[in-house]
Amino acid sequence: MSVAGTTAAVLLATSGPPATGLASLWEQVTTPQPAPDRTTVVVVGAVVLAALTVPGVWHLLRHGLTIVHEAAHAGVAVLVGRRLSGIRVHSDTSGLTVSRGRPRGPGMVATVAAGYPGPAVLGLAAAWLLSRGYALGVLWLLLVVVLLVLLQIRNWYGLWAVLVSGAALVAVTVWAPAGVQSVVAAGLTWFFLLGAPRAVIEMQTQRRRVRRRGGRDESDAGLLAGLTHVPAVVWAGVFLLVGGVFLVAGGALLLAAWPA
């Protein structure tokens, strides 16, 4: 065999398996999975709603919303041409996304405004995927979000929170049966749909507490009020409205998709 022939054979041998692996992965993600019955989906949603009302559980779960919240800030910052400097997630469930660019203007407003609607947008996208049977697609979508945030994390606690979230998603995605994947994907979808307005209500409660103490309002709504001269309570109302609309739309997709 000639040198050229040998080289071609080596290239074919080394390039074949990865392509096959990617093709196999794409086939798994795009193949509809068996769906749980509607009663199971409703029960999962009720369990998620109950969990969001328990302070200790909410504090733990809130980290997942914070990761998506900061991912939304970061994603929009990049889209409007700002330079992303990093993301931080703190133990009190607060977060910070730092980007460089003009301190005012539409780009800055869009970047700040993206945070609270972010989980609702993700929840609606997940509900749309689930309505077509792509539970594994939902899990991979969340893994991609977690991976992108991991690349920008700039503090140790944030790194731990993102790694734990990613490890849990990998465990379900790789080792769980299809039925379990569908239930987990439905639970995560409900979590983002229900958690988005819950986070806005929490923000508004904290804003009132800060105002009573005479402190400075550093919430997203407060920052937007300074950027736009639109009152912070209006921005909070907009966030709550977006979360509510997306919850109704996502819930309708979920409940219409599953067999009774």
199-223, pLDDT tens digit by residue?
999 999 999 998 888 888 899 999 9
49-80, pLDDT tens digit by residue?
999 999 999 999 999 999 999 999 999 999 99
Closest to 178 measured CA to CA, from 20, 28, 24, 27? 28
Place of tokens 């290239």: 11
CB of 250 within 8 A of CB of 124? yes
Q: Which helix (H) or strand (E) holds 87?
A: strand 83-89
User: Angle at Cα 220 formed by Cα 75 and Cα 139, nearest 5°?
Assistant: 40
DSSP symbol at 35:
P
Low-confidence ranges of the chain (pLDDT < 70): 1-22, 24-25, 257-260
DSSP symbol at 37:
P
Alpha-carbon gap, residue 65 to 71, rounded angstroms = 10
